[in-house]
Amino acid sequence: MRIFAAAIASVATLSAAPGAIAATQPGYLNMVIASPPDPNAKVPVFDAIPGADVGTLAVAFPQAVLQHGNVYIYWISFHDLTFNGTCTMSYDITQKIGTTTKKLQGGTILKFACSSPGIFGAGIAGKPLVNSPGLATLTGTVAFGSTKEKLSTTILIQ
Amino acid sequence: MRVAALVLATAALSAAPQAGQGATPTGFITTVLVGLTDPAGKVPVIDGVPGAGVSNWGVAYPLGQLTAGNFYTYSVTMQDLSYTGKCTASYDITQVINTKKTVIQSAKIASFACKPNTVWAWAINAPALPSSPGPATLTGIATFGTRKTVLNIPIVLQ
Protein backbone atom coordinates (compact mmCIF):
# COMPACT_ATOMS: atom_id res chain seq x y z
CA MET A 1 0.00 0.00 0.00
CA ARG A 2 1.16 3.46 -0.75
CA ILE A 3 1.50 5.88 2.10
CA PHE A 4 1.29 9.58 1.55
CA ALA A 5 2.87 11.63 4.26
CA ALA A 6 4.07 15.09 4.89
CA ALA A 7 5.12 17.08 7.88
CA ILE A 8 5.62 20.75 8.39
CA ALA A 9 7.68 21.40 11.45
CA SER A 10 7.26 25.11 11.89
CA VAL A 11 4.29 27.29 11.23
CA ALA A 12 4.72 30.96 12.00
CA THR A 13 1.39 31.38 13.72
CA LEU A 14 2.12 28.63 16.19
CA SER A 15 4.67 30.49 18.25
CA ALA A 16 3.44 30.84 21.79
CA ALA A 17 2.53 34.41 22.54
CA PRO A 18 2.93 35.83 26.04
CA GLY A 19 -0.10 34.83 27.99
CA ALA A 20 -1.03 32.16 25.48
CA ILE A 21 -3.51 29.70 26.87
CA ALA A 22 -2.59 26.11 27.36
CA ALA A 23 -4.14 23.71 24.88
CA THR A 24 -6.47 21.21 26.45
CA GLN A 25 -5.20 18.39 24.30
CA PRO A 26 -1.82 17.69 22.68
CA GLY A 27 -3.10 18.03 19.15
CA TYR A 28 -6.22 18.54 17.11
CA LEU A 29 -7.47 16.38 14.26
CA ASN A 30 -9.03 18.53 11.62
CA MET A 31 -9.65 16.21 8.72
CA VAL A 32 -10.58 12.61 8.06
CA ILE A 33 -11.68 11.91 4.53
CA ALA A 34 -12.07 9.24 1.90
CA SER A 35 -11.27 10.26 -1.64
CA PRO A 36 -10.49 8.57 -4.92
CA PRO A 37 -6.88 7.71 -5.71
CA ASP A 38 -5.08 9.94 -8.15
CA PRO A 39 -3.89 7.88 -11.13
CA ASN A 40 -1.16 10.47 -11.60
CA ALA A 41 -0.15 10.32 -7.92
CA LYS A 42 -0.06 14.09 -7.54
CA VAL A 43 -2.50 14.38 -4.66
CA PRO A 44 -2.74 14.33 -1.70
CA VAL A 45 0.15 16.71 -1.40
CA PHE A 46 1.48 19.58 0.68
CA ASP A 47 2.81 22.78 -0.86
CA ALA A 48 2.14 22.02 -4.50
CA ILE A 49 -0.12 24.90 -5.50
CA PRO A 50 1.85 27.36 -7.57
CA GLY A 51 1.90 30.93 -6.34
CA ALA A 52 0.29 30.38 -2.96
CA ASP A 53 1.71 32.54 -0.19
CA VAL A 54 0.77 30.15 2.62
CA GLY A 55 1.51 26.50 3.23
CA THR A 56 -1.05 24.41 1.38
CA LEU A 57 -2.69 21.03 1.38
CA ALA A 58 -4.44 19.58 -1.64
CA VAL A 59 -6.53 16.42 -1.61
CA ALA A 60 -8.77 14.67 -4.08
CA PHE A 61 -12.32 15.79 -3.48
CA PRO A 62 -13.61 14.23 -0.27
CA GLN A 63 -16.38 11.70 -0.85
CA ALA A 64 -19.10 10.68 1.55
CA VAL A 65 -20.77 8.24 -0.82
CA LEU A 66 -18.46 5.31 -1.40
CA GLN A 67 -18.94 2.47 -3.86
CA HIS A 68 -18.24 -1.05 -2.68
CA GLY A 69 -15.42 -2.67 -4.59
CA ASN A 70 -13.64 0.64 -5.09
CA VAL A 71 -10.35 1.61 -3.51
CA TYR A 72 -10.17 4.93 -1.66
CA ILE A 73 -7.43 6.95 -0.08
CA TYR A 74 -8.06 7.55 3.62
CA TRP A 75 -6.39 10.75 4.73
CA ILE A 76 -5.97 12.32 8.13
CA SER A 77 -4.43 15.62 9.04
CA PHE A 78 -3.82 17.13 12.45
CA HIS A 79 -2.19 20.01 14.23
CA ASP A 80 0.33 18.99 16.87
CA LEU A 81 0.50 21.75 19.46
CA THR A 82 2.53 20.36 22.32
CA PHE A 83 3.42 16.73 21.81
CA ASN A 84 6.88 15.37 21.09
CA GLY A 85 7.10 11.62 20.74
CA THR A 86 5.55 8.80 18.79
CA CYS A 87 2.36 9.60 16.91
CA THR A 88 0.27 6.88 15.31
CA MET A 89 -2.35 7.72 12.72
CA SER A 90 -5.07 5.23 11.88
CA TYR A 91 -8.53 5.03 10.40
CA ASP A 92 -11.47 2.69 10.53
CA ILE A 93 -14.86 2.30 8.94
CA THR A 94 -17.57 0.94 11.18
CA GLN A 95 -21.19 0.18 10.58
CA LYS A 96 -24.01 -0.40 12.98
CA ILE A 97 -25.95 -3.50 12.01
CA GLY A 98 -28.83 -4.02 14.38
CA THR A 99 -27.34 -3.50 17.80
CA THR A 100 -23.85 -4.52 16.76
CA THR A 101 -21.12 -2.21 15.52
CA LYS A 102 -19.00 -4.00 12.96
CA LYS A 103 -15.60 -2.87 11.74
CA LEU A 104 -15.53 -3.07 7.95
CA GLN A 105 -12.06 -1.80 7.27
CA GLY A 106 -9.23 0.02 8.95
CA GLY A 107 -5.64 0.06 9.94
CA THR A 108 -2.59 2.06 10.82
CA ILE A 109 -1.68 4.74 8.32
CA LEU A 110 1.59 5.87 9.78
CA LYS A 111 3.62 5.70 12.97
CA PHE A 112 6.30 8.34 13.25
CA ALA A 113 8.11 10.84 15.46
CA CYS A 114 5.95 13.91 16.08
CA SER A 115 7.51 17.21 16.99
CA SER A 116 5.56 20.25 18.06
CA PRO A 117 4.41 22.60 16.84
CA GLY A 118 3.63 21.05 13.51
CA ILE A 119 1.01 20.07 11.01
CA PHE A 120 0.99 16.52 9.82
CA GLY A 121 -1.00 14.58 7.32
CA ALA A 122 -0.89 11.10 5.95
CA GLY A 123 -3.06 8.79 3.94
CA ILE A 124 -3.21 5.24 2.81
CA ALA A 125 -4.95 3.33 0.06
CA GLY A 126 -7.44 0.99 1.67
CA LYS A 127 -8.54 -2.40 0.43
CA PRO A 128 -11.46 -2.58 -2.00
CA LEU A 129 -14.49 -1.56 0.01
CA VAL A 130 -16.61 -4.48 1.14
CA ASN A 131 -20.18 -4.82 -0.02
CA SER A 132 -22.07 -3.65 3.03
CA PRO A 133 -24.57 -1.08 1.86
CA GLY A 134 -25.83 1.57 4.21
CA LEU A 135 -24.67 4.33 6.47
CA ALA A 136 -21.32 3.92 8.17
CA THR A 137 -18.83 5.95 10.15
CA LEU A 138 -15.35 6.88 9.03
CA THR A 139 -13.14 7.61 12.03
CA GLY A 140 -9.64 8.99 12.09
CA THR A 141 -7.52 8.50 15.17
CA VAL A 142 -4.23 10.00 16.20
CA ALA A 143 -2.46 8.56 19.21
CA PHE A 144 -0.17 11.10 20.82
CA GLY A 145 1.74 8.58 22.85
CA SER A 146 -1.01 7.08 24.98
CA THR A 147 -3.48 9.92 24.42
CA LYS A 148 -5.90 9.33 21.57
CA GLU A 149 -7.86 11.95 19.69
CA LYS A 150 -10.59 10.96 17.24
CA LEU A 151 -12.66 12.58 14.54
CA SER A 152 -15.62 10.90 12.86
CA THR A 153 -17.76 11.58 9.84
CA THR A 154 -20.79 9.89 8.32
CA ILE A 155 -20.44 8.06 5.03
CA LEU A 156 -22.73 5.96 2.86
CA ILE A 157 -21.60 2.70 1.30
CA GLN A 158 -23.32 1.64 -1.88
CA MET B 1 -13.59 35.80 -1.78
CA ARG B 2 -15.70 32.78 -2.48
CA VAL B 3 -14.87 29.61 -4.28
CA ALA B 4 -17.37 27.13 -5.60
CA ALA B 5 -16.99 23.73 -7.13
CA LEU B 6 -19.30 21.43 -8.94
CA VAL B 7 -17.99 18.05 -9.96
CA LEU B 8 -20.25 15.43 -11.43
CA ALA B 9 -19.77 12.06 -9.86
CA THR B 10 -18.23 9.46 -12.10
CA ALA B 11 -20.34 6.62 -10.78
CA ALA B 12 -24.11 6.48 -10.61
CA LEU B 13 -25.25 7.01 -7.06
CA SER B 14 -28.34 5.41 -5.66
CA ALA B 15 -30.53 7.20 -3.18
CA ALA B 16 -32.58 4.18 -2.22
CA PRO B 17 -32.77 3.54 1.52
CA GLN B 18 -30.82 0.50 2.63
CA ALA B 19 -32.47 -2.28 4.56
CA GLY B 20 -32.09 -1.85 8.27
CA GLN B 21 -30.39 1.53 7.97
CA GLY B 22 -33.36 3.87 8.00
CA ALA B 23 -33.76 6.71 5.54
CA THR B 24 -30.67 7.63 3.58
CA PRO B 25 -29.61 11.26 3.94
CA THR B 26 -29.93 13.35 0.83
CA GLY B 27 -26.48 14.83 1.30
CA PHE B 28 -23.43 14.94 3.51
CA ILE B 29 -20.89 17.41 4.80
CA THR B 30 -17.39 16.03 4.29
CA THR B 31 -15.03 18.66 5.73
CA VAL B 32 -14.93 21.95 7.57
CA LEU B 33 -11.49 23.51 7.64
CA VAL B 34 -9.81 26.69 8.76
CA GLY B 35 -6.46 28.00 7.58
CA LEU B 36 -4.65 31.27 7.21
CA THR B 37 -5.97 33.55 4.50
CA ASP B 38 -3.61 33.45 1.54
CA PRO B 39 -2.33 36.97 0.78
CA ALA B 40 -1.72 35.84 -2.79
CA GLY B 41 -5.29 34.63 -3.15
CA LYS B 42 -4.29 31.31 -4.69
CA VAL B 43 -6.04 29.08 -2.16
CA PRO B 44 -8.65 27.78 -1.58
CA VAL B 45 -8.65 26.48 -5.10
CA ILE B 46 -10.23 23.77 -7.19
CA ASP B 47 -7.87 21.71 -9.32
CA GLY B 48 -4.89 23.81 -8.35
CA VAL B 49 -2.33 21.02 -8.45
CA PRO B 50 -0.71 20.77 -11.87
CA GLY B 51 -0.86 17.32 -13.37
CA ALA B 52 -3.30 15.79 -10.91
CA GLY B 53 -5.49 13.08 -12.39
CA VAL B 54 -8.48 13.70 -10.12
CA SER B 55 -10.45 16.76 -9.15
CA ASN B 56 -8.85 18.24 -6.07
CA TRP B 57 -9.40 20.78 -3.34
CA GLY B 58 -6.51 22.93 -2.19
CA VAL B 59 -6.52 24.88 1.06
CA ALA B 60 -4.10 26.54 3.43
CA TYR B 61 -2.74 24.19 6.10
CA PRO B 62 -5.70 23.13 8.24
CA LEU B 63 -5.22 24.49 11.74
CA GLY B 64 -6.38 23.41 15.18
CA GLN B 65 -5.14 26.51 16.99
CA LEU B 66 -6.20 30.01 16.01
CA THR B 67 -4.79 33.32 17.21
CA ALA B 68 -6.90 36.40 17.94
CA GLY B 69 -6.39 39.17 15.43
CA ASN B 70 -5.38 36.87 12.60
CA PHE B 71 -7.36 36.49 9.41
CA TYR B 72 -8.57 33.03 8.53
CA THR B 73 -10.36 31.40 5.66
CA TYR B 74 -13.07 28.84 6.38
CA SER B 75 -14.12 26.17 3.94
CA VAL B 76 -16.87 23.57 3.75
CA THR B 77 -17.07 20.64 1.35
CA MET B 78 -20.25 18.68 0.83
CA GLN B 79 -21.72 15.96 -1.34
CA ASP B 80 -25.25 15.98 -2.70
CA LEU B 81 -26.57 12.47 -3.14
CA SER B 82 -30.17 12.97 -4.16
CA TYR B 83 -31.43 16.48 -3.39
CA THR B 84 -32.57 19.07 -5.90
CA GLY B 85 -33.17 22.55 -4.57
CA LYS B 86 -31.65 25.11 -2.26
CA CYS B 87 -28.53 24.20 -0.33
CA THR B 88 -26.44 26.25 2.02
CA ALA B 89 -22.97 26.04 3.52
CA SER B 90 -22.00 27.84 6.70
CA TYR B 91 -19.65 27.69 9.65
CA ASP B 92 -19.48 28.91 13.21
CA ILE B 93 -17.02 28.95 16.05
CA THR B 94 -18.57 28.52 19.46
CA GLN B 95 -17.31 28.44 23.01
CA VAL B 96 -18.89 27.56 26.30
CA ILE B 97 -18.46 30.64 28.49
CA ASN B 98 -19.90 30.43 31.98
CA THR B 99 -21.99 27.42 30.95
CA LYS B 100 -23.45 29.37 28.03
CA LYS B 101 -22.75 28.45 24.41
CA THR B 102 -21.46 31.60 22.73
CA VAL B 103 -20.86 32.22 19.04
CA ILE B 104 -17.44 33.76 18.51
CA GLN B 105 -17.61 34.02 14.74
CA SER B 106 -19.92 32.70 12.06
CA ALA B 107 -21.03 33.21 8.49
CA LYS B 108 -23.22 31.80 5.82
CA ILE B 109 -20.72 31.00 3.11
CA ALA B 110 -23.09 30.19 0.28
CA SER B 111 -26.69 29.63 -0.67
CA PHE B 112 -27.05 27.91 -3.99
CA ALA B 113 -29.03 25.54 -6.16
CA CYS B 114 -27.72 22.05 -5.79
CA LYS B 115 -28.55 18.86 -7.62
CA PRO B 116 -27.95 15.15 -7.15
CA ASN B 117 -24.63 13.41 -7.71
CA THR B 118 -22.48 16.46 -7.15
CA VAL B 119 -19.81 17.59 -4.76
CA TRP B 120 -19.35 21.19 -3.71
CA ALA B 121 -16.71 23.27 -2.00
CA TRP B 122 -17.17 26.75 -0.59
CA ALA B 123 -14.90 29.10 1.27
CA ILE B 124 -14.99 32.53 2.81
CA ASN B 125 -12.45 34.96 4.19
CA ALA B 126 -13.44 35.98 7.70
CA PRO B 127 -12.79 39.20 9.58
CA ALA B 128 -10.03 39.21 12.19
CA LEU B 129 -10.65 36.60 14.86
CA PRO B 130 -11.94 38.16 18.09
CA SER B 131 -10.03 37.56 21.30
CA SER B 132 -11.65 34.80 23.32
CA PRO B 133 -8.97 32.42 24.51
CA GLY B 134 -9.84 28.85 25.32
CA PRO B 135 -11.20 25.66 23.84
CA ALA B 136 -13.78 26.09 21.11
CA THR B 137 -15.65 24.17 18.45
CA LEU B 138 -15.53 24.79 14.73
CA THR B 139 -18.79 23.64 13.19
CA GLY B 140 -19.50 23.21 9.51
CA ILE B 141 -23.14 23.11 8.49
CA ALA B 142 -24.44 21.92 5.14
CA THR B 143 -28.16 22.07 4.47
CA PHE B 144 -30.04 20.29 1.75
CA GLY B 145 -33.45 21.91 1.84
CA THR B 146 -34.67 21.41 5.39
CA ARG B 147 -32.19 18.66 6.17
CA LYS B 148 -29.02 19.68 7.93
CA THR B 149 -25.72 17.86 8.29
CA VAL B 150 -23.12 19.05 10.73
CA LEU B 151 -19.45 18.40 11.39
CA ASN B 152 -17.88 19.53 14.67
CA ILE B 153 -14.15 19.90 15.15
CA PRO B 154 -12.50 20.86 18.42
CA ILE B 155 -10.08 23.78 18.18
CA VAL B 156 -8.35 26.12 20.61
CA LEU B 157 -8.25 29.90 20.47
CA GLN B 158 -5.41 31.95 21.85
B60/A45 touch (CB, cutoff 8 Å), yes or no: no
Mean pLDDT over residues A91-102, rounded?
A: 95
Strands A56-60 and B45-46: unpaired
Comparing CB atoms, the residue among A49, A53, A60 nearest residue B48 is A49
Q: Are A61 and B7 within 8 A, CB to CB?
A: yes
Q: Does A138 touch chain B (CB under 8 A)?
A: no
Domain B3-12+23-49+56-157: give its CATH code. Answer: 2.60.40.770
Is residue A10 predicted with pLDDT exceeding 80? no
Which of B80, B68, B86, B81 has the alpha carbon at shortest distance from B127?
B68
Chain A residues closer than 8 Å to B30 by CB: 33, 62-64, 153
B63/A42 touch (CB, cutoff 8 Å), yes or no: no
Closest Cα in chain A, distance from residue B134 (Å)? 7
Q: Are B153 and A32 within 8 A, CB to CB?
A: no
A62/B79 touch (CB, cutoff 8 Å), yes or no: yes
Please tell me the distance from the alpha carbon of residue A112 to that of residue B48, in angstroms, as a whole number: 29
pLDDT tens sequence across A110-151: 999 998 889 999 999 999 999 999 999 999 999 999 999 999
3-class secondary structure per residue, A70-138:
CCCEEEEEEEECCCCEEEEEEEEEEEEECCEEEEEEEEEEEEEEECCCEEEEEEEECCCCCCCCEEEEE
Closest residue in B to A75 (Cα) is B31
Is residue B8 predicted with pLDDT exceeding 80? no
Give chain A's end-to-end CA distance (angstroms, integer). 23
Q: Where are the domains of chain B?
A: 3-12+23-49+56-157
| pLDDT recorded at residue B3 | 59
Q: Where are the alpha helices (DSSP H) in B12-121?
A: none
